[in-house]
Amino acid sequence: MFGYIVRRLISAALVLFLTSLFVFGLLYKGPRDPARAICDSNGRCTPVKLENLTKAMGLDKPVLTAYGEWAKGLVAGRTINMGGSANYECSAPCLGVSWKTRTEVTKELVQKYPATLSLALGGALLYLTLGVFVGVLAARWRGTFADRALVTSTLIVSSIPYYLVALLAWIYFTQKFPILPQSTYHPITDSPAKWFAGLLLPWLVLGLTNATQYSRFSRGQMVETLGEDFIRTATAKGQRSNVVIFKHALRAAIIPVVTIFGLDFGTLLGGTVFTEFIFDLDGMGRWGLQAVFTPTDIPVVTATVLVAAFFIIMSNLVVDIIYSLLDPRVRLG
């Protein structure tokens, strides 16, 4: 198991290296000169200004040299000159300096991450527990009115684009009928109550829309498992039906749900663009989106992509470990 985790971590490092190299290279050699875009956005762009800016952003060097410098900063830190007299002492892990805000990317990341983390944890907890619970109950009473209503409503919710649901929820619940607190992000260290109030609506929207899909999926898994011979055995022993369902059946039915959840949760941790944008949460998703808009902020985009890739890889690893704990037939090695 230990050897397995080490091997997985090594391959994760390789994936992160390649991801960062590709993002860096593609943006660097993109169709539009990043220096030109920044130059244009600051009043009239003269050739001298453009040349200075190109130098300051390190765009005059070959891609691999620039990437090498960036990668060195990540491991050991480096000094960055953005033109003029200002030098940035960027200590490891240094992700460069934002071309737009001229602040260190790592510092911004640390500042933006709590919003994304809070949103992801609350939303995922809600949709996993609620979705699985409702799915299990629906499987137990399959064919009843409540079950059919659930299946139909999940289809309806899944067919409406998520951003529309989020936007309508925001308009109706905070603007038209302000029954829920205005959504925004307050650091939990400032005031846990404000933190909770500001995140309540985003959590509910993210949690409930995803819960419908999780309930449908876990319902399907449960229906299948309840038809297994070992469930009949558990009933024939004289076991209580709740124990049969929640101990015997759920244990087997939850495994595919865990796989899907691992992927979803990893993606959530990389930033949720729509949710953060609509609910005014200053997190990774919104940060990345703003960085992509012209003029493209390559250090920030690279950082957000890297963080997203990191969490997807990690959650996959965690899922595999949970797998081996849930199912004795799975041996990691």
Partner 1 sequence: MSAAVERPEAAGEPYLSIESLTVRFPTEDGLVSAVTDLSYSVELGKTLGIGRVGLGQVGIQHGRARAPRPTYGADHRVHPRVGGTEVIGLSEERMRELRGDDVAMIFQDALAALHPFFRIGDQLVEAYLLHHKKASKREARKKAIEALALVGIPRPERRVEDFTSSRVACGNGG
The contact set with partner 1 (CB under 8 A) reads 228-241, 248, 251-252, 326-329
| Closer by beta carbon to partner 1, 199 or else 234 | 234
| Closer by beta carbon to partner 1, 62 or else 328 | 328
3-state secondary structure of 288: helix
Min CB(220)–partner 1 separation in Å: 17
Min CB(160)–partner 1 separation in Å: 34
| Closer by beta carbon to partner 1, 153 or else 233 | 233
Looking at residue 25, its amino acid is G
Short-list 296, 143, 134, CA closest to 213: 134
Q: Which residues make beta-bridge pairs with 87?
A: 81
Q: Could you tell me which residues come within 8 angstroms of residue 265 by beta carbon, excluding any fewer than 6 positions away? A: 120, 124, 315
3-state secondary structure of 98: coil
Min CB(181)–partner 1 separation in Å: 43
| Closer by beta carbon to partner 1, 72 or else 251 | 251
Q: Could you tell me which residues come within 8 angstroms of residue 87 by beta carbon, excluding any fewer than 6 positions away? A: 79, 80, 81
3-state secondary structure of 143: coil
Min CB(243)–partner 1 separation in Å: 9
What are residue 89's phi and psi, to 5 degrees?
A: -85, 95
Min CB(251)–partner 1 separation in Å: 5
Q: Give the pair of three-digit tokens for residue 149.
A: 């209503």
Bond before 256 cis per omega within 30 degrees: no
| Closer by beta carbon to partner 1, 6 or else 243 | 243
Min CB(247)–partner 1 separation in Å: 9
Q: Could you tell me which residues come within 8 angstroms of residue 331 by beta carbon, excluding any fewer than 6 positions away? A: 324
Q: Give the pair of three-digit tokens for residue 180.
A: 């829920």
Min CB(332)–partner 1 separation in Å: 15
| Closer by beta carbon to partner 1, 235 or else 267 | 235
| Closer by beta carbon to partner 1, 7 or else 247 | 247
- Cα–Cα–Cα angle for 106, 12, 252, rounded to 5 degrees: 115
| Closer by beta carbon to partner 1, 79 or else 241 | 241
Min CB(147)–partner 1 separation in Å: 14
What's 20-66 look like in SS3?
HHHHHHHHHCCCCCHHHHHHHHCCCCCHHHHHHHHHHCCCCCCHHHH
